A and B are shown apart, each in its own frame.
Chain A
Amino acid sequence: MTMTPTQALQAYCDAFASGDITTIASLFAPDAVVDLPLVGDRMKGHDEVMHEVESAVRGLKDIRVQIGHAIEGENDVIAEGAFWSELVGAGTKVDGTPERADFRFVAVLEMKDGRITRLSEYLDTKPVKPWERQRIIPTSVRRSPYWDGSIAAGAVEFMAYNRTTFPMIYSRTPYEDYVALTQRVTMWDVGCERQAQIKGPDALAFANYLVARDISKLAVGACRYSFVCDPDGQILCDPVILRPWEDTIWLSHGDVDLHLWARGLATNSGYDVEICEPDVAPLQIQGPLCVEMLRPIVDGSVDDLKFYRCMVTKVAGIEAVVSRTGWSGALGFEIYPTSSARAMELWDALLEAGRPHGLVVTGPNVHRAVEKNVTDTAYFTNSDMNPFEAGGERLVDLDKGDFVGRDALLKIRGEGAKRQTVGLFIEGDLPRLEWFWPLTDGAGKEGTVRWAMHSFALDRSVGIALVDAAVKVGDKVEVHHPLGTVKAEVTTLPFVED
């Protein structure tokens, strides 16, 4: 039996609320168009509509839709209604209440031959996406050179990272960002990701003295991931090391004053090096379509750039180093313009290049990172930890000769690490992790949950914790987060392999 427009609208709303994608797909005509202010541009065609619908349905839960006034024409209906839902994976507010997407709307639905050909919703997204940009405490935090681009793209929450603004959250549901990263391509403003530049005849030798891994044979155009430790063997940061030029090493590092540390160590050391933090503010292009996106605007072949290799090139005519690295644990590139003078020109060119591939400007996707056990180590994030406790033994070469922290790390290895990094399956929904959560294992020993997120791949809460070395996979522990104490089970890392 052919549905009336009102029946079709009701069927759409019911199916949306119950997550019945199959029914929704059956309602739309092949050439249907949908206007939804929460998504942006008009969606054209069945595939595009269903891609967005699926993303919306998976990103929300406890959905209710109620149609009030509905007035029908011959082949259309205009209706007023209300929508209630809870965001998946957004954590809760400080008081424990969930992040919600509730709004009233007017929907206009047109039909032809029993299928929906047009669905337009009118609503004010301002209360639904209320996270207007928060004020940044001025002067102590410098703006990334891509600030204007991030703001225009809807950045609403920032970290102060290396004393630089770091846009983390944009006005979308977490799942929309996750889909963009895992299925299309994303661009991140990581201008906060600073380079400690070591330049001079002894650049490689001095860098090798700074880091725990043997990089003495690092070739020009190669990259490595390693730890920088203090003399006690504690991790200062875990930089990506690049050698873009013969006499230049960049340690692309996390939230730590690495160039000051390096400069201090180099002073009167006898190494012939100059150390600075150059005006190099990177962007990350991450996601499966990144090669297609970058191919037309990068001089040289991004197809041939192997994992953990870099090249000096031009991107949209702008001098840059491009490396096949990133924080997504999957295919991606980092672009390091050699100056910020043309930063927004580069940003705009990348936006334009990404448009045909559905590029979305996002922050680093912590949901995906935790799934893949891609973390970040700095003064405070994961502080008070040595590489063996961090699960990074393969990144330490104790036989390479002298380096900062070697004696301490030799002792730690000899005695055995007292703690270990493990995965956790955590019960229930989680608040946002704003600082480490205490953990108690079955033997009553304390640990800390250092990362915690909703995993969209596993559809459950997961975490990464530092626990006693005696804890085993399958052990039950208790996590004490701001909303209470919940049970968790110890598991292996990463949570997701591919």
Chain B
Amino acid sequence: MTPQDAIALHNAAYESRDAGALLDALAPGCLYEMPLLRSRMVGRHEIAEGLRLAFAATSACILEISRTRQSGETALAEGVMTAELAREKTSATVPFAMVVESGEGGINRISLYLDAKPFRLWADGPVMAMAG
């Protein structure tokens, strides 16, 4: 699987709200970083739990990629995430970038870069980490 394929798989998981195919493609020690979730997640079990929280917090979540660059086993991309937030019944549009590294064992790292500060924990704001 190329890193660009991995990006597509990741984003499809959010759109379909089904993490199965993505989880199958992860290397055992894969690192997943998503600022809207509470912490760095390592391995399929933690990542599955993180994605479960993300899906529970949103009724829809689309990650649209506007530009991707790939070199070897690494891809970097930028785009916009649009999420319909389940609890607040509002939508959020957040520019993001992501870095994906893949290898023989599968996807080794998915790091999303976005500003989570507007989604303040204490403000009853739309925070994925508060779901579940």
Contact = CB atoms under 8 A, between A and B. Distances in A.
Interface of A: 35, 37, 69, 71-73, 76-80, 104-106, 108, 120, 122-126, 129, 132-133, 151, 171
Contacts, number: 72
A126 B74 contact: no
- A interface, over-half SS: strand
B69 A125 contact: no
Interface in B73-97: 74-78, 95-97
Given A71-B70, A123-B115, 9 more contacts: A37-B115, A73-B67, A80-B99, A105-B113, A108-B78, A122-B95, A122-B113, A122-B115, A129-B117
A453 to B, nearest CB: 27
Contact of A76 (B67, B95, B98): B67
Contact of A106 (B99, B116, B117): B99
- Chain B CB within 10 A, most for which of A69, A129, A132: A69
B114 interface: yes
- Chain B CB within 10 A, most for which of A71, A72, A104, A171: A71
A69 B99 contact: yes
B74 to A, nearest CB: 5
- The 8 A-B residue pairs with the shortest CB-CB distance in the complex, in nearest-first order: A106-B97, A71-B69, A122-B97, A122-B113, A78-B76, A124-B35, A37-B115, A126-B117
A54 B35 CA distance: 28
- B interface, over-half SS: strand
Nearest to B95: A122
Contact of A79 (B76, B96, B117): B76
B121 interface: yes
A126 B113 contact: no
A413 B21 CA distance: 85
Nearest to B78: A108
Nearest to A37: B115
Contacts of B69: 71-73, 76-78
A123 B113 contact: yes
A77 to B, nearest CB: 8
Contacts of B111: 80, 104
A108 B117 contact: no
A133 B120 CA distance: 10
Contact of A124 (B75, B95, B99, B117): B117
B35 A132 contact: no
